[in-house]
A and B are shown apart, each in its own frame.
Chain A
Amino acid sequence: MADFETHEFDVLVIGAGGAGLRAAIESAVLGQRTAIVCKSLLGKAHTVMAEGGIAAALSNVYSEDNWRVHFRDTMRGGKMLNNWRMAQLHAQEAPDRVRELEEWGALFDRTEDGRILQRDFGGHRYARLAHVGDRTGLEMIRTLQQRLVALGVDVFQELTVTRLLTDGDRIAGAVGYWRDSGRLVLFRAKAVVLATGGLGKIWAITSNSWEGTGDGHALAMYAGADMIDMEFVQFHPTGMVWPPSVRGILVTEGVRGDGGTLRNQSGERFMFRYIPPMFAAETADSEEEADRWYDDRQHARRTPDLLPRDEVARAINAEVRAGRGSPHGGVFLDIASRRPAEYIKRRLPSMYHQFKELAGVDITREPMEVGPTCHYAMGGMRVDAETGASNVAGLYGAGEVTGGMHGSNRLGGNSLSDLVVFGRRAGMGAAQHAAGLQAVPALDSSQASACDESMEAPFRGDGKENPYTLHRELQDLMQVNVGIIRTDSDMRAALAGIAGLRERATRVKVEGGAAYNPGWHLAIDLGHMLTVAEAATRSALERKESRGGHTRDDFPNASGEFAKVNVVVRRAADGAFSVSQESLPAMPAELQRLFEED
């Protein structure tokens, strides 16, 4: 066996977005030797792209708001499939996490008298998103990154983790490679926190950047972790649709929060036709009322433009399918006719520049063209709400790689708060686990050698498959067959397609050497993506109903039976998947009462 570069820590955090940074900070503050590994540069993780804000019932401007209202909104947005305890902790702790970010230096836009200003977002009863313009994620990641640096946490940048190491049935560390040299690196650790984010790059139209290949979801499955809710994928209703090179790039929900409205090709505000019974009581049923709501929360109900994301995405999809879409296959998002140019530029500066520079559209003068884009995975590793612990001893998780918090559909703004609430908890959980172990678990070097060999494979052999081609075929397959609207036969076709791609992936060949070779990196990621695509498809086949981010043409309604279960998927060591239905944890009576007023 070759000599591998080896490091030893108490806690290893994989991923340096909001969740990973917050976990590493907590673990370091608790005195554990902590390292954080990220596959791109520190500070460039996907969190940086979050625009609208961080949801927290601060009650500083709207005294009626409190954690119970936030909790209720979150559960209803998730169509009651959320892990109630996670949703409760999230709502209770988000305000403290926002104030903590501020204490560490984060900027927030302010009210005239200096309080943190909050903005309206879909599914939130009160204006609840603390924000700075439309670049909240950038501010958050800078703040956390600088706090991490101040604490002296070890950072390994541009290092991709490919497998978790185990000692029997517990975590012993991880193995990865430096992207610049291709050299293998071993991390021995008492506990590992997965905070690897999402998997949008498995779909063709996505807001996610190249990093979102579901690595952490795959690593968790390889290590034997239970995954839940993998069928729920959020298609954000408003991505750019034109020009093709920017298709899928996000248009913040803040456009609608700040007065923008959706229209079809005849100019109709079609969302009024798509108000589901669950939200009818609190949604305006006339344009006049909806417009009045922006200034008068007491006497008007909220605009249907701000229904939860799954509702809006389905409505846009239906309009386009009915032939009422915009020229490039989306619908129109109009703020130009509704707000002054100066207001738009001040409230949405990034959007203004994004459309001006990428699409040649002046959003203060003309409407945007938007359509659904694969944005967020609700599903992921099943974790304990209090500690972020998975079913694998020593393996913890936080953020998008975990499941449960958001149920079948995430509300906008609940992601940034999720990252810091559960990042902190997972960091704490991992630190406590590590503190309880005398020694770092044993290292089974054969696991690393096996990993080394499988990574070498794309350089050897006489295969002719191009990793980029396989990736694109997978994306198209999933977009067409496991997209916004699903059927049994389409998804079975997807499974067959995935099997075919998996077979072809054994013949991937990459040119060049191991030094900074993006084709080789993709060849490695491809295995993860195929694993995650299969898990998502098998879970989606199992759920024979429509709910949140999972809509089936063959089962168009929500079912009472499936309202009570999570779909759990596991991958055995031999690569076989098993899917089962398991009861949701029961919500205590005092929380159930919050929903009885419906």
Chain B
Amino acid sequence: MTSGATTTQTIGFEIARYLPGEDRAPTLRHYDVPYRPEWVVLDALNYLKDEVDGTLSFRWSCRMGVCGSCGAMVNGVPRLMCAAFLRDYLPGPIRVEPLANFPIERDLVIVLDDFMQKLRAVKPWIIPGDRPPPADAEYRQTPAQLADFKQYSMCINCLLCYSACPVYQHEEEFLGPAVLALAQRYDHDSRDRGNSQRHELTWSDEGIWDCTFVGECSAVCPKHVDPAGAIQQAKVESTMDWYRSVLWPFGRR
């Protein structure tokens, strides 16, 4: 991938290096990388890892924006490194740091146990209630029913939204954008009957009501999931539900 064409032009990189136990804090180290207009930041990092410093650590996998492994702060903005072109950062240098709001494991690799816990907490699976699928056939779900929540299902768990979220920065308990959008995806799925099992958590103060609707999550989402929209929608639904329960005692049944 890195052999072939030669170039004399280079672009500077400032890359956060950090090895817990040995370094007291992350420090930016400067590197020069051959400039190729078709390269993305991930290509440059792989070049450095393969040719310059084999210890440079970062996560990546698919190179095509679907696995969600290669998130990092690029010039202070959460981005997928496989989708951030060098040509958009001329003349450089390009600063690459681990995603904000997470503990650092090494270099650009973050610890994401907290996210995995929260993911599990909102029961992201179909809860069929008393209406299991028909034997030997699929549930019927029309394109319109699917369109109601399909966007919320596009999440690739890249965590850019957590990195951009000003609430999560200060309140670790906040379930956060991706997890709340995921809950909304299942709540709105016409096959699911599990809303009541999720709302105790998602409609709580650690859930949607913690969000101050800054909208940064939706701005950085590479898959246009629009978690801010999902949270806003859930707030309206939660409010309607509350009014119904107060003003019309039988309304919830």
Name which of B33-41, B93-101, B229-237 contacts chain A.
Answer: B33-41
In B1-32, which residues have CB < 8 Å from any A CB? 1, 3-5, 19, 21
Q: Is the CB of A466 within 8 A of B54?
A: yes
Q: How far is the CA of A138 from the CA of B155 in the complex (A)?
A: 9
B142 lies within 8 A of chain A by Cβ: yes
**Which residue of B53, B140, B146, B156 contacts A107 across the interface (Cβ within 8 Å)?**
B146
Known: A40-B61, A209-B62. A49 touches B67 (CB 8 A): yes
**Which residue of B5, B54, B62, B116 contacts A519 across the interface (Cβ within 8 Å)?**
B54
Report the count of interface residues on B (CB-CB < 8 A): 65
Q: Is the CB of B68 within 8 A of A44?
A: yes
In the assembled complex, the CB of A54 is this many whole angstroms from the nearest CB of chain B, namely 13
**Which residue of A40, A110, A357, A515 contacts B141 across the interface (Cβ within 8 Å)?**
A110
Q: Is the CB of B59 within 8 A of A41?
A: yes
In the assembled complex, the CB of A145 is this many whole angstroms from the nearest CB of chain B, namely 9
Known: A468-B54, A517-B54, A519-B54. A110 touches B150 (CB 8 A): no
Name which of A111-119, A315-323, A558-566 contacts chain B.
Answer: A111-119
Q: Is the CB of A139 within 8 A of B125?
A: no
**Which residue of B49, B50, B59 contacts A40 across the interface (Cβ within 8 Å)?**
B59
Name which of A240-248, A331-339, A380-388 contacts chain B.
Answer: A240-248
Name which of B131-139, B166-174, B203-211 contacts chain A.
Answer: B131-139
Q: Is the CB of B54 within 8 A of A511?
A: yes
In the assembled complex, the CB of B43 is this many whole angstroms from the nearest CB of chain A, namely 5
In the assembled complex, the CB of B163 is this many whole angstroms from the nearest CB of chain A, namely 16
What chain B residues lie within 8 Å of A327 (beta carbons)?
A: none
B157 lies within 8 A of chain A by Cβ: yes
Closest to A469 in B: B50
Q: Is the CB of A245 within 8 A of B59?
A: no
Q: Is the CB of B50 within 8 A of A102?
A: no
Determine the main DSSP class of B at the interface with A: loop
Q: Is the CB of B125 within 8 A of A105?
A: yes
Closest to A246 in B: B63
Name which of A29-37, A146-154, A218-226, A398-406 contacts chain B.
Answer: A146-154
Q: Is the CB of B54 within 8 A of A510?
A: yes
What chain B residues lie within 8 Å of A250 (beta carbons)?
A: 64
Closest to A116 in B: B138
Q: How far is the CA of A180 from the CA of B1 in the complex (A)?
A: 26
B77 lies within 8 A of chain A by Cβ: no
Q: How far is the CA of A104 from the CA of B59 in the complex (A)?
A: 29
What chain A residues lie within 8 Å of B142 (beta carbons)?
A: 110, 112-114
Q: Is the CB of B64 within 8 A of A467?
A: no
A210 lies within 8 A of chain B by Cβ: yes
Q: Is the CB of A104 within 8 A of B126?
A: yes
In the assembled complex, the CB of B202 is this many whole angstroms from the nearest CB of chain A, namely 16
Closest to B82 in A: A358
Known: A103-B133, A105-B186. A249 touches B64 (CB 8 A): yes
In the assembled complex, the CB of B162 is this many whole angstroms from the nearest CB of chain A, namely 15
A390 lies within 8 A of chain B by Cβ: no
B213 lies within 8 A of chain A by Cβ: no
Which of A107, A147, A511: most chain B CB closer than 10 A? A107
What chain B residues lie within 8 Å of A46 (beta carbons)?
A: 61
Q: Is the CB of A146 within 8 A of B65?
A: no
Q: Is the CB of A519 within 8 A of B55?
A: yes
Q: Is the CB of B1 within 8 A of A244?
A: yes
In the assembled complex, the CB of A375 is this many whole angstroms from the nearest CB of chain B, namely 14
Q: Is the CB of A244 within 8 A of B5?
A: yes
Known: A43-B157, A519-B49. A49 touches B62 (CB 8 A): yes
In the assembled complex, the CB of B17 is this many whole angstroms from the nearest CB of chain A, namely 11
Q: Is the CB of B64 within 8 A of A49?
A: yes
Q: Is the CB of B38 within 8 A of A245?
A: yes
Q: Is the CB of B19 within 8 A of A515?
A: yes
Q: Is the CB of B36 within 8 A of A40?
A: no
**Which residue of A138, A466, A510 contacts B66 across the interface (Cβ within 8 Å)?**
A138
**Which residue of A48, A510, A518 contacts B62 across the interface (Cβ within 8 Å)?**
A48
Q: How far is the CA of A452 from the CA of B78 in the complex (A)?
A: 38
The 6 closest A-B pairs by CB, nearest first: A519-B54, A243-B38, A114-B140, A512-B55, A105-B126, A516-B106
A interface, CB within 8 angstroms of B = 40-44, 46, 48-49, 58, 60, 98-99, 102-105, 107-116, 132, 135, 137-139, 143, 146-147, 149-150, 180, 209-211, 243-247, 249-250, 350, 353-354, 357-360, 466-468, 472, 510-513, 515-520, 522
